[in-house]
Amino acid sequence: GLFVMSAIRDTTERRSTERALQEKNAELLLASQAKDRFLATMSHELRTPLNPIIGFTGILLMKLPGPLTAEQERQLGTIKSSAQHLLSLINDLLDLAKIQSGKVELRRDPVACDEVLEAVDASLRAQAQARGIDFTLRLPSTPTVLDTDRRALHQILLNLVANAIKFTDEGGVTLELRRSGRPEEVTREADMPPPAGRLDFVVSDTGVGIEPDDLARLFGAFAQVGDPRRKTGGTGLGLHLSARLAELLGGRIEVESRPGGGSRFTLVLEPVSWRTS
Ligand code: ADP
């Protein structure tokens, strides 16, 4: 009798604990959704007034309303670059909020990888030149086509290459696409199972490198490691965002680095089936 009683009590207790847990979870979920919504709304509201600030500062800097003293020009330059920094911080936060609330809908379209890499080249080559470093793009001899989300792929590579340029003072940055496995069309013709191929988008630099202790923290939100005197105007969100996007693409970002010996960041997509047209 006693045993049965305690078994019943146990079950009732367990049930009420389970219910309490479920209620707690529902509460947490609601709170987390409210936080995501708040972040998204705030980011949007914060971005809107920045546009006229940046725009009108630009007009003043073009000396359209009239000449400027050197001091005024310097001050306007500071307003403009601070506003731009704020804008990129807000844009990154907005992206992050979207990813966290599961609102990022990735597409799966045929993407010509060469075009994406060439677009990254086109937007950042001038930046590399301005810093006096070489930029090299290496592509396989035939095109590489892959079903994926072009925007996400572009954003990840843009982040990695922009970082490589920022943290390199001498030498150069290389963006390279390496393929392994057979192209899909070959296996199709030969009636073989679809290939488990692999694509490596490798960004290597001859820059400042990263301390081994910092490597683990690198992908956290707001991680800024290394020499704090290096003012790069970054937000510490780029790698965090890139890693989340890589995950959404079914891939990962690997990093190898040596302080003073440069870094290599690789976006690895695997298993993946790619074709040449
Ligand atoms: P940030 O906006 O500061 O560039 P990221 O998340 O993109 O933020 O990078 C985080 C930190 O990782 C950087 O502040 C820098 O310390 C380090 N880092 C990223 N890429 C490199 C690189 N190619 N070489 C050296 N350090 C790097």
223 Cβ inside 6 Å of ligand 1: yes
224 Cβ inside 6 Å of ligand 1: yes
- What pLDDT shows up at residue 148? 97
Q: How far apart are CA 20 and CA 236, in angstroms?
A: 38
ipTM of this complex > 0.85? yes
* pTM tops 0.95, yes or no: no
Ligand 1 atom nearest residue 219's Cα = 6
Phi, psi for 5 (deg, rounded to 5): -55, -45
CA of 226 to the centre of ligand 1 (A): 8
DSSP bridge pairs for 272: 197
Task: Strand 172-180: give its sheet, edge to edge.
Answer: 134-138, 172-180, 197-205, 263-272, 251-257
210 Cβ inside 6 Å of ligand 1: yes
- What pLDDT shows up at residue 231? 63
Q: How far apart are CA 167 and CA 208, in angstroms?
A: 6
> Which residues, given as ranges, of the chain have pLDDT below 50?
none
Give nearest CA residue, ligand 1 atom 21.
163
Q: How far apart are CA 150 and CA 110, in angstroms?
A: 9
